[in-house]
Amino acid sequence: MLSDLLTEERILFSPSELTWREAVAGVARPLLAAGDITPDYVRAMLDSIAAGGTYIDLGHGIALAHARPENGAVRTAMSMLRLPAPAPLLDDPRHAVDLYFCFAAVDAEAHMSAMASLARILSDAGTRQALRDAASAPEVIKLITQFEETR
């Protein structure tokens, strides 16, 4: 379940506008600090996006930054960063993102389970808006937990 991965200390709110590079590095920071990923994982995400990786754009202003497990995923983990204004991927306004997630998975089973849980939550327009409206990590946790309990 997503609520097992996305804990309060992994939910961030930026007080200022960021570039996409700053947003990706920022959303990865809690996973790096916890030892869930290595610095190589962050570099791999940034390099992949710089090479044209707008595939992380999930639509609706949401991006899922990730890299291959062998690039430095230590444990399956996830984090979230909400921005006050979009930080377009590759500075392309067609990929304006204000809600960044970082995801690391160590195996296919963990990857599929976490992705399915995230997809369920993000496919609901009301929940997407509620994530943007939340003012604190506890609010996000409550929202995710309530969503999971009703599904």
Structural domains of the chain, with CATH: 2-150 (3.40.930.10)
Has residue 147 got a pLDDT over 90? no
Q: What is the pTM of this model?
A: 0.94
Average pLDDT, the chain: 93
The angle at the Cα of 71, spanning 56 to 116, to the nearest 5 degrees, equals: 45
Nearest to 115 by CA among 126, 127, 104, 124: 104
Which whole number is the average pLDDT over 83-96? 95
pLDDT in tens, 105-139: 998 777 787 788 888 899 999 999 999 999 999 99
Euclidean distance between CA atoms 117 and 5, whole angstroms: 10
pLDDT value of position 97: 97
pLDDT value of position 13: 97
pLDDT value of position 50: 95
